Amino acid sequence: MKIGILVNEGPFNHQASDSAYQFTKAAIEKGHQVLRVFFYYDGVNNANKLAEPQSDDRNVSKRWTELAKQHRIDLVVCIAAALRRGIKEDILADGFRISGLGQLIEIGIAADRTVVFGD
């Protein structure tokens, strides 16, 4: 099954980000193809490489980067949502890229299912 993922919440204020990551990882392990993870609204904060979690906390952007690299997942950050939150190309973690809402529409068309995490 081809799956698209939409992440609408940031990594440190809502469970949705962790749930999206765990779901993506589990879907891949079950043999599904994750076509793209699209970060929208506060979800764009998952891509911020300047975040420095404590040593005993998870590094969200690093987890996404490693998963994307290992499984060739397209990690797309909404440009409008990113700019509203001060996130520009130079502070994106490796593996993330900025693009527009057309990428979300495209995944909705190409995927068998699009799963949304967060409001």
- Give the pLDDT confidence of 9-63 residue by residue, as tens digits: 998 888 999 999 999 999 999 999 999 999 999 999 999 998 877 776 777 889 9
Q: How far apart are CA 38 and CA 6, in angstroms?
A: 5
pLDDT at 59: 76
Q: Where are the domains of the chain?
A: 2-117
CA-wise closest residue to 92 among 105, 83, 100, 101: 83
CA-wise closest residue to 2 among 24, 32, 36: 32
Q: How far apart are CA 60 and CA 53, in angstroms?
A: 9
pTM surpassing 0.85? yes
Both structure tokens of 117: 């995490």
- CATH class of residue range 2-117: alpha beta
Read off the pLDDT of residues 83-113 as tens digits, 9 standing for 90 and up.
999 999 999 999 999 999 999 999 999 999 9
Amino acid at 20: A
Catalytic (active site) residue 16: no
Q: Which residue among the candidates 16, 37, 78, 87 is catalytic per the annotation?
A: 78
Could you give phi then psi for residue 114, rounded to 5 degrees?
Answer: -120, 125
